[in-house]
Structure 1
Amino acid sequence: MFNRLLIAAVMATSLTGAAMAQTDMACDQAGMTKLETDVNSITDATKKEMATKELAMAKEAMAAKDTAKCKTHMDNAMKGKDAM
């Protein structure tokens, strides 16, 4: 019983965190500038390369006014910044 509650709590926390992270980002120039600064601060070369590609795709989506796609790519770029 306790294991089920613990698993449910962990799953709810992880899903809530991902949803909140995506809603906090704004697909606008200020958001892109902050994200670009964050991406440039990544020291791991592999993560930085992935984040840079996601940043470029987010910029393309922003130019196309595709907010959902833009936020998804911004979120993916931020994942490169996090310790995995």
Structure 2
Amino acid sequence: MSGARGKRIAIGVRPPVNAHAEAWVRQGDADDLQKGDLYTARLTLDITPALRARIKVSAFTQGVTVAELLRGLLEREFPETTN
């Protein structure tokens, strides 16, 4: 066993960098940062499973996420007032 401790095993050469793939990964990070800057408060609601299902179906049929659907609904119901 003592002889195996000093033995090194070659891992191999690192694959070449794909610039397109790297840019795509970094773009996801930028999108997450922008969302975090815009939406910094979390709102938790207790709703029935049936209402949750209706909301999810509605969001799916509109091609948006539940969060996007609810943000739009809340923005329409509570518009920002200008003084």
TM-score (norm 2): 0.32
Greater Cα radius of gyration, structure 1 or 2: 2
TM-score (norm 1): 0.32
Higher relative contact order (CA 8 A, sep 6+): 1
Q: Whose helix fraction is larger, Structure 1's or Structure 2's?
A: 1
